[in-house]
Structure 1
């Protein structure tokens, strides 16, 4: 009779997420995940056909709540500048709480992920959500001619959040203030 493990999917999810955070995508394999979960490798393959599918599932699930929060802000009655500041706050807090899951998305050298259409779509969705809040803000005259300015600002903000969390993790309030001031440098 097969061994019944309660909440096996959530155990696989949380254990895998922890391993990806600690060791990075390349260093983790299905055998390692199964061992940490206390299950047979075959059991793990019953839930996920490979490491990439498991990682993408974790990535999507971990960002789903963030996207819901961002949509809520974008649909709110806040003033455009308040929306942009709230978007920065949400992104900062959620990226900080996620402790780096998704950092591999910056590395184009992981072909397994960078060539996957779902990963590309995910990156585009993330930038679009930020871009939506920034597009409502009036830019300084010198930036108005650039058709891609909203995307560029979005990329600057997102990458800055990632770098500043890593470099100055115990200074959240100051970091968010700097990010907001960075955004304001582009605005009227």
Structure 2
């Protein structure tokens, strides 16, 4: 008689997320996940056809709330600068909470991820949300005619946050202040 595990899909999801956080995408395989969940590898494949699909499901689920909060942020009665400051804080805290989950998206060596259209769309959506917040800010004269300044600033912020968290883990307030002051070099 097969053993019945309550909420197995949730257990697989949570266990996999922890393993990806601890070992990175390349450091995890389906056997490791199955072993940690105390299930057969075949059972795991009944839920997810491969590691990439499982990772993308985790990535989407973990960022879904962030995207909803970006949408809510757009409707708040705040100045453009206050919205950007809230967006930076929100991203910082969300990235910090995920402890690096998703940093593989910046790694060009993980071909099965970077070549996946869903991953590309996810990255575009993340950049677009940050870019929309920044686009409301009035730029300094040197950048007023630069059509790519908003996207470049969004990309810089999104790349900088994980680096600051990793390099200066216990300096959250200073890191957030630094990111906001960095923007001051481009806006009025």
TM over 0.5, yes or no?
yes
**1:13 alignment partner in structure 2:** 13
**2:103 alignment partner in structure 1:** 103
**1:86 alignment partner in structure 2:** 86
5+ long unaligned stretches in structure 2? none
Of stretches 123-132 and 69-78 in structure 1, the one that deviates more from structure 2 is 69-78
* Secondary structure in 2 matching 1:170: coil
| Offset, 1:9 | 1.2
**2:171 alignment partner in structure 1:** 171
CA contact 1:30–1:44 (8 Å) conserved in 2: yes
The runs of at least 4 consecutive aligned structure 1 residues that moved more than 2 Å come to: none
Deviations 1:42-65 (A, max 9, x none): 111111000000000000000001
The within-5 A match list for 1:16-27 is: 16-27=16-27
**1:116 alignment partner in structure 2:** 116
C-alpha separation in 1, matches of 2:179 and 2:37: 39
C-alpha separation in 2, matches of 1:114 and 1:152: 20
C-alpha separation in 2, matches of 1:114 and 1:50: 16
Aligned length: 188
C-alpha separation in 2, matches of 1:64 and 1:80: 23
C-alpha separation in 1, matches of 2:67 and 2:3: 37
The within-5 A match list for 1:31-110 is: 31-110=31-110
**1:180 alignment partner in structure 2:** 180
TM-score by length of 1: 0.98
C-alpha separation in 2, matches of 1:186 and 1:76: 24
CA contact 1:157–1:183 (8 Å) conserved in 2: no
CA contact 1:134–1:154 (8 Å) conserved in 2: yes
TM-score by length of 2: 0.98
5+ long unaligned stretches in structure 1? none
C-alpha separation in 1, matches of 2:6 and 2:78: 44
| Offset, 1:2 | 2.4
**2:162 alignment partner in structure 1:** 162
**1:148 alignment partner in structure 2:** 148
* Secondary structure in 2 matching 1:3: coil
CA contact 1:31–1:41 (8 Å) conserved in 2: yes
